[in-house]
Amino acid sequence: MTTPEPPPATALGLTAEHVSKSFGSVQALHGVTLTFPPGRVTALMGENGAGKSTLLRILTGDHRPTRGRVLLDGRELHLTSPIDARRAGIRIIPQEPEIIPHVSVAENVYAGSLPRRAGRRLDRAELHRRITADLSRLGFDRVLDPDRLGSRLTAAQRQLVEILRALTGETPPRVIAFDEPTSSLSEHETEALFELIGRLRDLGIAIVYVSHRMKEIFHLADRIAVLRDGALVGEVDATRTTESELVRLMVGRDLAGLFVRQHVATERVVLDVRHLTTDAVRDVSLTVRAGEVVALAGLIGAGRSELALALAGDLPIRSGTVTLNGRPLKARSPRDAIEAGIGLAPEERKAQALLLHRTIRDNTTLVSQRRLRRWRFVSRARERALAQEYADRLRVRAPSIEAEVRTLSGGNQQKVVLARWLARRPELLILDEPTRGVDIGAKAEIYQIIADLAREGTAVLVISSELPEVLGLADRVVVLQNGRITGELDRADATEEAVLALAMADDLAPATAATTATQDATTTSPDATTTDTPSGANR
């Protein structure tokens, strides 16, 4: 694979020309030249830390390049802030939406350009007119309430607010960058987003699409650009490449045998849940044995995360029993659950798990302070040794364990969360979307960590929305829908079709019942006639 020749300065679209960026002694980008043409979807791929986010921040005015320049239709742009980029028609949909919690959806969408009457008073009538028109035009009127407060929005709704921001304003968008946009969206919402991206492409807008999900890349992209270690290592036609070729470009090697699970489960039951009911789940019963990986599968809203939070002491249990190693668990708070031997790596690592402005050392040793004490004081030497041990074991890429966690890539942040619990050595580790927003190389490393934990006898409960991940990791799959368990599958019986059928059991049941009733009526009717029907015609 050869690196493409730099485009001419007159090329249409947004161009990064010989762009380099360094942060002190760290070189984040090395002479990247790449054009994003109008009316095309360009996927930007690479491992965490490959330079994707740095390039996006330069294109959107958040960083200034150390060398090189940014051009739009051959004209050099001098971007000193995101405001300059927005005025030029360059927008970004960030992976972590920035929502103002105490104002409405409408005020969030037009923040910075709110309509006002004489003086500084907000013109609410004009604001309502604008948001109503834009919601209807973009097809979001059924999923977003313009008067809902930002603090009450779901993760998917926050993402939609960011998309609305990008598509509104006085300057029409010329370039829109989507950074992992589907990480918080349901399947239905993802399909709606893909339709919207298709419409934007047809309008001549240049689309930059960043995702680690291969299926999305091949569904959407016209072309794929791959970064590795801050350099552009390849640019390929999406219709003429393969997953394995992209993996080789991203990590420099094949990742055959991505899942390394071996059956090491014992008969010792670590977690035993009986008829557990909370505000979100009802009558849930399941077990997890030592050395076993059990996956919780289901569609978004099925109650998987809520079950995890209840087990971890963060949501109240209304009825039912939970035992850990044969002892009743009375976890009225996360502290109680931790002391009992339960660890939880939550879905929203930045909001729920990490102290972003504290160091890798602080985050790693956060729940292990008691074992690090000498007399009444924490031994800093022991703390540094423990943090360094697990940073090395998990191959956390950082200048040192004194680096702030906010400076790390998503994959390395997730490794820090895992390091925290490995250092604590819990009896049960719950992992909620452990590879969300993580590149393929880091995924392989996390899968290896999970396999190592199981081999060491830890009981692991994994929640994942990616079916290949569920099937590759789990010894057993427990499927939820609408807060209740609809079925359980052993590894040998678990297929994507079987899991989806259980995840949609309530939706499929009426159709199945109707089909059965029709067949019974046809069978028993004395006047029934037989006709050939194509298989699947009633689906």
Give just the sign of the alpha carbon dihedral 467, 469, 471, 475: negative
DSSP for 212-271, written as a single string: S-HHHHHHH-SEEEEEETTEEEEEEEGGG--HHHHHHHHHSS---S---------S-EEE
Question: In the chain, what is the straight-line distance between the N-terminal and C-terminal CA atoms, in Å?
Answer: 44
162 and 244 belong to one structural domain: yes
Q: Which has more pLDDT, 486 or 539? A: 486
167 and 279 belong to one structural domain: no
In the chain, the percentage of residues whose pLDDT exceeds 90 is 39
Any domain includes 348: no
Question: Which of 210-214, 331-335, 427-431, 526-530 is predicted with the least confidence, judged by mean pLDDT?
Answer: 526-530
211 and 136 belong to one structural domain: no
Whether the full predicted model's pTM is greater than 0.85, yes or no, is: no
Any domain includes 85: yes
Task: Judge whether residue 535 has pLDDT over 70.
Answer: no
In the chain, the percentage of residues whose pLDDT exceeds 70 is 88
For 160, 190, 205, 249, the CA distances from 165, given in Å and listed in that order, are 9, 18, 16, 34
170 and 112 belong to one structural domain: no
pLDDT of residue 7: 43
91 and 171 belong to one structural domain: yes
Task: Judge whether residue 301 has pLDDT over 80.
Answer: no
pLDDT of residue 119: 67
336 and 455 belong to one structural domain: yes
Side-chain-side CA neighbours of 153 within 13 Å: the count stands at 30
**Structural domain containing residue 137:** 100-152
**Phi, psi angle pair for 122, to nearest 5°:** -65, 130
pLDDT of residue 484: 93
Any domain includes 398: no
Residue 463's domain is classified under what CATH number? 3.40.50.300
Boundary residue ending a domain (209, 224, 251): 251
118 and 136 belong to one structural domain: yes
pLDDT of residue 260: 64
Helix (H, G, I), strand (E, B) or coil at 380: helix
Any domain includes 9: no
pLDDT tens-digit readout, 215-257: 889 999 999 999 988 899 999 999 999 888 887 887 765 555 5
Confidence of residue 258 (pLDDT cuts 50, 70, 90): low
Q: Which candidate, 148, 152, 113, 107, places its Cα nearest to that of 131?
A: 107
Residue 169's contacts (CB-CB under 8 Å, 6 or more residues apart) are 86, 113
Report, in this order, helix, strand and coil percent for the chain, each rounded to 5. Answer: 35, 25, 40
Boundary residue ending a domain (133, 152, 171): 152
Any domain includes 518: yes
